A and B are shown apart, each in its own frame.
Chain A
């Protein structure tokens, strides 16, 4: 009688896992890769239904020669980068504050995580309500005679630097990154820091040389997700941003909904470029931070 060797056993195990994952994976491939492929084909000006039979790169040429596209790209990068960095830093700080046990920790943690459940739209409306020049803060400051007219309130919405958009993303992403960092902190425990302290590391050194390298992989993966999301998200820049330059996703949707069907390939090309740029930036970012972790 032959017994199955450990290798074939493992092979069988792997096959089992692959089979179990097939439905989910095929759905993802169909929806994601299918969509991507369709978009790519359209971006090549190939759309036989309206008589476009010759694939070409015209749409890409239009995108890359369009000034608005570059302005949009810079704006979108600025929004995604700034909000990711600020949210990450604040989230790490918040996670460190929420880490020790203290009275009322449960309640504070609850409020900290609460806005995870709110849609972005709710936050955007809140920002409009609070920070716009006709908003709550502007009125309060006017009534308190800090400023003479609401319009003197600094423009945080529809402004050049997209402050309203960034505020909204920070508000929404801090708990997201924070919860992940908290989980990492919980799983590594405090013993490494105790070792460092006993070896003479002060509070800052413990954070710099022990806590940070330990949580960095968690911060990294959370902030990559946040970056990718903020780079590609549509509704917040649509609600809180100026119309020129608009963020890339807004620009893409605008071209897509253009009455001129010929603008559609351009919209698709733009979407392709957004996807490629986002992927490239994420890879570069991961590479950088990984090198940082290794060198510390």
Chain B
């Protein structure tokens, strides 16, 4: 049982590039936490600092309230499973899995017994004698996982554990990781750029952009209560209309809406609503007129693009709605008050600024 705490963790590389900036996280013992973000956001750097492969420029890391910065990586019990598995190519599967125990000078027979146990756990019994080169990617991944689990780590660190696998293997592996983690109750931190993977696997997600922690919360909150427009966009949010929040209502150029749920107190803000929350057809309140610009019939659902004045929104509806609404026709949209989430105003994005300048 290990609780992990990162306190103002910062890593600045030689070229003055701050890969991780002032990161603080409290990770409960026995939970599965995702470090999520686009590539280059500092998530792998964070993981390497926890493993001890990189030394932080500032800040501290605690396991159960004890700083581990001065503990050698091999003694931390923070075992990292790399994205490309890195099984030792000159050893067979059994020796690979038993490696950590051999380093601890565990008796050979005991190692053999535990290796067999681990192979059972990752559902690959009896393949001790095979060479890593004879295994598929999914099997290598499992062996790498078994090699890490056999030393009973305090903290298990997984670097993009599923990104090198085919789609169907990924689902299988996801369930295996989840069930093993539940069974062994190991504090697990994994790095991913895949929003869906983080949502499906993690108890908590720490979202990072450019080395800075954006939001640290259970997965559902990233959909229901993101703290910025950028976070909402990263989680598939599409509909953002600027306005002013006042007394539980947001006043936009296209109309006013009751908005009881909000991440800001009052003032200039942004209305956000997920595409699947927008209803076609008025309810008499929180309605707005729009013109259908285009639609796509996907089978399980239909997707409409609708102009509301100068703004455009997307609505995902029942597939049958395509029979009632033609492109170019006017439609009344309903924004259910409890589905509206008010965000701080969107910051000018740097890239967009560059685009308009160029």
Q: Are A198 and B90 touching (Cβ within 8 A)?
A: no
| Chain A 237-295 interface residues, beta-carbon cutoff 8 Å to B | 293-294
Q: Are B99 and A194 touching (Cβ within 8 A)?
A: no
Q: Which residues in B have their C-beta under 8 angstroms from that of A98?
A: none
Q: Which residues in B have their C-beta under 8 angstroms from that of A201?
A: 74, 99, 103
With an 8 A cutoff between CB atoms, is B88 at the interface?
A: yes
Q: Which residues in A have their C-beta under 8 angstroms from that of B73?
A: 197-198
A213 to B51: give the CA distance in the assembly, Å: 24
Known: A191-B82, A205-B103, A209-B99. A199 touches B148 (CB 8 A): yes
Q: Are B80 and A196 touching (Cβ within 8 A)?
A: no
* Candidates A194, A200, A210, A296; contact of B151 at CB < 8 Å: A200
| Chain B 91-144 interface residues, beta-carbon cutoff 8 Å to A | 99-100, 102-104
Q: Which residues in A have their C-beta under 8 angstroms from that of B74?
A: 197-202
Q: Which of B82, B90, B100 has the most CB of A within 10 A?
A: B90
Select from chain B the residue with minimum beta-carbon distance to A201: B103
Interface size for chain A: under 10, 10 to 19, 20 to 34, or 35 or more residues?
10 to 19
Interface of B is mostly: mixed
| Chain A 184-211 interface residues, beta-carbon cutoff 8 Å to B | 191-192, 194-202, 205, 209-210
Interface size on B, residues (CB 8 A): 24
A191 to B159: give the CA distance in the assembly, Å: 13
With an 8 A cutoff between CB atoms, is B61 at the interface?
A: no
Q: How far is the CB of A290 from chain B (nearest CB, A)?
A: 11
Q: 0/1 per residue, A140-175, Cβ < 8 Å to B?
A: 000000000000000000000000000000000000
Q: How far is the CB of B130 from chain A (nearest CB, A)?
A: 15
Q: Are A191 and B86 touching (Cβ within 8 A)?
A: yes
Q: Which of A194, A196, A200, A209 has the most CB of B within 10 A?
A: A200
With an 8 A cutoff between CB atoms, is A214 at the interface?
A: yes
With an 8 A cutoff between CB atoms, is B169 at the interface?
A: no
Select from chain B the residue with minimum beta-carbon distance to A189: B86
Q: Are B90 and A199 touching (Cβ within 8 A)?
A: no
Q: Which residues in B have their C-beta under 8 angstroms from that of A210?
A: 88
Q: Which residues in B have their C-beta under 8 angstroms from that of A191?
A: 82, 84, 86
Q: Are B78 and A198 touching (Cβ within 8 A)?
A: yes
* Candidates A195, A205, A213, A294; contact of B86 at CB < 8 Å: A195
Q: How far is the CB of A199 from chain B (nearest CB, A)?
A: 4
Q: Which residues in B have their C-beta under 8 angstroms from that of A194?
A: 51, 53, 80, 82
Q: Which residues in B have their C-beta under 8 angstroms from that of A197?
A: 52-53, 73-74
A213 to B79: give the CA distance in the assembly, Å: 22
A200 to B102: give the CA distance in the assembly, Å: 9
Q: Which residues in B have their C-beta under 8 angstroms from that of A296?
A: 90
With an 8 A cutoff between CB atoms, is B274 at the interface?
A: no
Select from chain B the residue with minimum beta-carbon distance to A202: B74
With an 8 A cutoff between CB atoms, is B147 at the interface?
A: yes
A191 to B51: give the CA distance in the assembly, Å: 13
A196 to B127: give the CA distance in the assembly, Å: 21
Q: Which residues in B have their C-beta under 8 angstroms from that of A293?
A: 90
A197 to B78: give the CA distance in the assembly, Å: 10
Select from chain B the residue with minimum beta-carbon distance to A205: B103
Q: Which residues in B have their C-beta under 8 angstroms from that of A209?
A: 99, 102-103
Q: How far is the CB of A264 from chain B (nearest CB, A)?
A: 49
Q: How far is the CB of A292 from chain B (nearest CB, A)?
A: 11
Q: How far is the CB of B51 from chain A (nearest CB, A)?
A: 5
Q: Are A200 and B100 touching (Cβ within 8 A)?
A: yes
Q: Are A199 and B88 touching (Cβ within 8 A)?
A: no
Q: Which residues in B have their C-beta under 8 angstroms from that of A202?
A: 72, 74, 103
A87 to B270: give the CA distance in the assembly, Å: 70
Q: Which residues in B have their C-beta under 8 angstroms from that of A200?
A: 74-75, 100, 103-104, 151
Q: How far is the CB of B49 from chain A (nearest CB, A)?
A: 13
| Chain B 30-82 interface residues, beta-carbon cutoff 8 Å to A | 51-53, 72-75, 78-80, 82
* Candidates A192, A198, A205, A294; contact of B79 at CB < 8 Å: A198
A271 to B103: give the CA distance in the assembly, Å: 49
Q: How far is the CB of A209 from chain B (nearest CB, A)?
A: 7
A202 to B102: give the CA distance in the assembly, Å: 12
Q: How far is the CB of A253 from chain B (nearest CB, A)?
A: 43
* Candidates B80, B84, B102; contact of A198 at CB < 8 Å: B80
Q: Are A196 and B99 touching (Cβ within 8 A)?
A: yes
Q: 0/1 per residue, A73-98, Cβ < 8 Å to B?
A: 00000000000000000000000000
Q: Which residues in A have their C-beta under 8 angstroms from that of B90?
A: 213-214, 293-294, 296
Q: 0/1 per residue, A9-31, Cβ < 8 Å to B?
A: 00000000000000000000000
Q: Which residues of A contact B (CB under 8 A)?
A: 191-192, 194-202, 205, 209-210, 213-214, 293-294, 296
Give me 11 other A-B pairs in contact (C-beta within 8 A), A197-B74, A199-B148, A209-B103 excluded. A191-B84, A195-B80, A198-B53, A198-B73, A198-B78, A199-B99, A200-B104, A200-B151, A201-B103, A213-B88, A293-B90
Can you offer 15 A-B residue contacts whose CB atoms are under 8 A? A194-B53, A194-B80, A195-B80, A197-B73, A198-B52, A198-B78, A198-B79, A198-B80, A198-B148, A199-B74, A199-B100, A199-B147, A199-B148, A200-B100, A201-B103
Give 8 closest A-B pairs by Cβ, nearest first: A199-B100, A201-B103, A200-B103, A198-B80, A213-B90, A195-B86, A200-B74, A197-B74
Q: Which residues of B contact A (CB under 8 A)?
A: 51-53, 72-75, 78-80, 82, 84, 86, 88, 90, 99-100, 102-104, 147-148, 151, 157
